[in-house]
Amino acid sequence: MAFRIGRGGVEIVALRDGDHTPDWIWHFPKDGGDCEGCLNFGAFLVIADGKTVLVDTGWGPHHEPPGGLTAPAGLLADMASAGVGPDDVDLVVFTHLHPDHVGWNLILDPPVRPRFPRARYLVPREDWLHYNVRDDIHPGIVEQALPLERLGVLQLIDDGHRVTSSIRAIAAPGHTPGHTVYAAGDDTLLLGDLAHHPDVLERTRWHQRFDWNPEEAVATREKLLDQAEREGTLVGLGHFPPPSLGHVIRKDGRRIWHPLETR
């Protein structure tokens, strides 16, 4: 069931497209032995300025992580529980183009077509350039992201792009070249894959296996987490346990995750 909150003049809806129990040492080869819990695959709806904006689209129905999902990919069902269907989405925006963030983009049964038929798909320019010249990319990216241009729905965006008057793109490179986070309303940051597990809020120098530039990812992570803690910002981290929304706080000298209550 989707979780909805009104915040700073916008509505944020946390969505879930399944989860799985990962090998955390595989994800964090040097550091992850202490991690516990599932890896969530989340996305967000932001409803603002008369627009419905979908931030990332999960694994989708065609691909899964190694070991599979613990439940079928359920993004569309979660959207429906929030009263939003594919035809209601005005814009689809991406934090980056990894396969677990683009999976519901397209319907692959011929003719291949956008799953969100009224939407423009806003892609960080540096990720688009990066994945269009690589040969060794996941089939989920090939199937669900690269066709956006020929289908006529692609819009490339850069740092500072205004998705709507209340939603702004902020370049946050490192995890991928074009990794982007989104400021929504007055005090919400949707942080993409800035961190994959709550332990990383304290152990910010952990290197995640999929980080394109690990040192840049660390620098970006530390900058944005410092900001979120200092300003008391509500943050969304889609790989954190549902509802994937909460605050970065300091307790007993340690930076920890304080999730929103769902009751």
Q: What is the pLDDT of residues 169-220, one digit of tens each?
A: 999 999 999 999 999 998 999 999 999 999 999 999 999 999 999 999 999 9
- Please, what sign has the CA dihedral across residues 60, 76, 56, 226? negative
Give yes or no for a contact between 48 and 185, defined as CB atoms under 8 angstroms apart: yes
pLDDT at 107: 98
Looking at the chain, the whole-number percentage of residues with pLDDT higher than 70 is 98
Which residue, among 13, 66, 75, has the nearest Cα to 39 in the 3D structure?
Answer: 66
Domain of residue 160: give its range.
3-259
Report the C-alpha gap between 101 and 99 in whole angstroms.
Answer: 5
User: CA 72, CA 97: separation in Å to the nearest integer?
Assistant: 21
Q: How confident is the model at residue 33 (pLDDT cuts 50, 70, 90)?
A: low
When divided into structural domains, the chain yields a total of 1
**pLDDT of 110:** 94
Q: How far apart are CA 216 and CA 208, in angstroms?
A: 12
Among residues 148, 131, 147, which one has the least CA distance to residue 96? 131
Q: CA–CA separation, 9 vs 98, rounded Å?
A: 30
pLDDT of residue 73: 84
Mean pLDDT (the chain) is 95
Q: What share of the chain is helix, strand, coil (3-state, %, to 5)?
A: 20, 30, 50
Strands 91-93 and 51-55 come out as: parallel
pLDDT at residue 1 greater than cutoff 80: no
* The predicted structure's pLDDT at residue 36: 84
Give the model's confidence band at 134: pLDDT under 50 very low, under 70 low, under 90 confident, else very high. confident
Indicate which CATH number applies to the domain containing 53.
Answer: 3.60.15.10
- Note the pLDDT of residue 32: 63
pLDDT of 247 > 90? The answer is yes
How far apart (Å, rounded) are the C-alpha atoms in residues 239 and 35? 13
